């Protein structure tokens, strides 16, 4: 392979090229690979690729080479889950997402009599970078459309969509759904006396308390202003009432620091369970929970009312 190693095209093409025999011994190693890996051709030729790079799946590569030699056709070689065949540090300076070069690998027959294949390594890091950035942007856009900006809880629109799906699942699987609706007692007094920035701090603090007292399967949303709603899937009314009571106690024990002062606040909560016999949909359940909330307000606040 000495002639090939000195070939101008072989050594100036802008991707990695190596020649392998069916036993995975490297027979040629081009200049691109020398530059990218820091390994000279005379240091690696006639060595087994899997001995030099032990993270390569040897059995998989052997099967692929034999397949290429038998079919006499080019074939793509999957490098999942690492997305590279040979670990090469990414040289993208700006906006680096990946530590190592993302590669596409193609195997083609080279010399059938000598049982040799040509392996091409294409640097597709920029393409993967763009794809990853687009994916992240789409996730951010999805968050913007489904989450409340201040609290990072789900917003009312998303809650409505998720509730409709949960309702269908509960009817089909005969599972319970319970709703908790709550708001901050005397919130206008907090805003008037401490300012809207402290009011926002109360709202955000309450949001974290709600998250900490709910399961990942529950849907916690900001309903509007100082009002919040929680959907508890596969949850009976009794359990939902105990969750609501735990939330109430946690809020009662909590305070927001305001300069030298400790601002304490309370919440009132209404709880209802979806009942297909009387509720046309979850909107009806939410309405019943809301009536429980207003009963709590009317009876002195800082309490849970089941309706």
Alpha-carbon distance 294 to 304, whole Å? 10
Backbone angles phi, psi at 184, to 5 degrees: -80, 130
Active site residue 34: no
**CA proximity to 265, closest of 196, 180, 181, 203:** 203
**CA proximity to 256, closest of 174, 164, 194, 298:** 194
Cβ neighbours for 218, distance < 8 A, ≥ 6 positions apart: 230, 231, 232, 233, 235
Residue 120 parent element (H or E): strand 116-123
**CA proximity to 185, closest of 269, 291, 247:** 269
Alpha-carbon distance 213 to 203, whole Å? 16
Alpha-carbon distance 269 to 288, whole Å? 12
- Catalytic choice (22, 57, 139, 226): 226
DSSP β-ladder status, 16-21 and 116-123: antiparallel
Catalytic residue list = 226
């Amino acid at each position: 392979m000495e002639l090939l190693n000195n070939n101008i095209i072989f050594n100036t093409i802008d991707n990695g090229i190596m020649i392998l025999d069916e036993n995975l011994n490297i027979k040629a190693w081009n200049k691109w690979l020398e530059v990218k890996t820091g390994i000279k051709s005379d240091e690696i030729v006639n060595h087994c690729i899997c001995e030099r790079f032990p993270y390569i799946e040897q059995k998989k590569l052997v099967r692929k080479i034999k397949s290429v030699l038998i079919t006499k056709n080019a074939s793509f070689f999957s490098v999942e889950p690492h997305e590279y065949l040979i670990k090469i540090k990414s040289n993208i300076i700006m906006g680096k997402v990946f530590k190592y070069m993302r590669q596409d690998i193609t195997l083609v027959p080279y010399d059938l009599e000598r049982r040799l294949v040509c392996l091409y390594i294409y640097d597709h890091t920029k393409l993967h970078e763009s794809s990853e950035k687009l994916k992240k942007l789409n996730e951010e856009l999805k968050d913007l459309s489904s989450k409340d900006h201040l609290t990072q809880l789900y917003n009312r629109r998303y809650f409505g969509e998720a509730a409709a799906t949960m309702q269908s699942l509960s009817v089909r699987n005969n599972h319970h759904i319970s709703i908790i609706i709550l708001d901050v007692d005397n919130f206008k007094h907090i805003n008037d006396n401490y300012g809207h920035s402290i009011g926002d701090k109360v709202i955000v603090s309450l949001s974290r308390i709600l998250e900490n007292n709910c399961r990942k399967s529950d849907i916690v949303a900001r309903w509007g202003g100082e009002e919040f709603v929680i959907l508890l899937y596969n949850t009976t009314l009794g359990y939902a009432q105990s969750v609501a009571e735990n939330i109430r106690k946690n809020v009662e024990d909590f305070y927001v620091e305001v300069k030298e002062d400790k601002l304490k606040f309370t919440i009132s909560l209404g709880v209802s369970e979806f009942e297909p016999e009387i509720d046309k949909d979850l909107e009806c359940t939410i309405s019943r929970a809301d009536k429980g909330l207003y009963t709590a307000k009317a009876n002195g606040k800082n309490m849970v009312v089941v309706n």
